[in-house]
Amino acid sequence: MVTTEPRSVFLLGNFLSQKGYSRGFVEELAERLARKGWHCSYASGIEWRPARFTHMLCATLRHAPRVAVVHIPLFSGAAFAWAFMGSEIARASNTPLVISLHGGRLPEFSKRWPATVRRVLAGATAVVAPSEYLRSALSEFREDIGVMPNAIALDDYPFVERHAPVARLVWLRAFHAIYNPTLGPRVLAALGDRWPAARLLMIGSDKGDGSLQATRRLADELGVADRIDFVGVVAKPDVPTWLHKGDIFVNTSNVDNTPVSVLEAMACGLPVVTTNVGGIPHLVADETEGLLVPPDDHRAFAGAIARLLEEPRLASEISRRARLKVEQLDWSAMIQRWDSLLLEAAHRRSRIARPARS
């Protein structure tokens, strides 16, 4: 294989922000690497899934043999198919491959398909996870997984310390069952007579599994529909503006890893109340950087929100400490780590990692 450019990378993933979808990690990474001097090729920005998969296959076959390194984000579910395909092409091309692990459902998926996951990870030159949780959960498949936290462009998120928050809640995720959006109306109803003026702003795309409709129906049944605003998708540059329309951020997930939406809220100074699932406890220190509650427990959730409303000193301390936490994750620092990781992988062309023993 002939490589004409040592800082050349092919990134395989969804590049769909121009089609109205949320801007994903791999799309942000590609832009940051290009600013760093990397020649980036990628796939795919095609919206229709069958055509997107075909484009991914053709683009990987074309670019993988010609670049210094390939990067693939590894998710569970249908997205695993194109990651597997890309890893096989990189292996056949003898092109160094860096895999980044994503998604709170990946550990469960890996237990259902252990041999396939092991093959994908074993064929990579390097594997990184955004949290200690995901690294530990997949360590049986690969012993040398590194930790590369999710990054945030801190300058885009002006900080406002919440000295005395009011009952304006913000939720920012996709409407999908794993993120349990129906917990939002239940929490609002549980706040009840104490905070009758409490409002909830729900921002996110409809993933089509009925969760959005179920959330609307439940809001009607509980009599809180007039206090919930459903916004839909907002452009990435507008996220800070929408976050600052509230004072408390609520994350209701049943399954999670290290969600960027939580990092964004912490950066803006919103005290976070979140379920303590997956990688969340590794991201948010309870009582100091946010408040953690059991999953699907609307009473515990409402109680944690009540504490922030009744204890302004606690809210203020959480607001400040959370901002300090995410300052360590600014893209200005994290892109240096990605640059080093990809360059090191490119220089190890002939080395193939061995799988961990079963």
By the 10 Å C-beta count (0-12 exposed, 13-18 middle, 19+ buried), 1 is classed as: exposed
For the chain, the distance separating the N- and C-terminal CA atoms, rounded to the nearest angstrom, is 33
* Residues 6 or more apart in contact with residue 194 via CB below 8 angstroms: 306
Q: What pLDDT, in 10s, does the model give residues 32-85?
A: 999 999 999 999 999 999 999 999 999 999 999 999 999 999 999 999 999 999
Strands 146-147 and 39-43: unpaired
- In the prediction, which pLDDT does 358 show? 43
Q: What is the pLDDT of residues 106-138, one digit of tens each?
A: 999 999 999 999 999 999 999 999 999 999 999
Q: What CATH number belongs to 8-151+331-346?
A: 3.40.50.2000
CA pair distance 69, 90, nearest whole angstrom? 9
Q: Considering only CA atoms, which of 150, 146, 142, 102 is closest in space to residue 128?
A: 146
* Boundaries of every domain in the chain: 8-151+331-346, 154-327
- The pLDDT tens digits of the residues spanning 216-263 come to 999 999 999 999 999 999 988 999 999 999 999 999 999 998 899 999
Q: Report residue 349's pLDDT band, with 50, 70 and 90 as the boundaries.
A: low
DSSP per residue, 260-319: HHHHHHHHHT--EEEE--TTHHHHS-BTTTBEEE-TT-HHHHHHHHHHHHH-HHHHHHHH
Question: Quick check: do 8-151+331-346 and 154-327 share a fold?
Answer: yes
Top CATH class of 154-327 equals alpha beta
Distance of CA 271 to the CA centre of its chain: 19
Nearest residue to 236 via CA among 274, 279, 203: 203
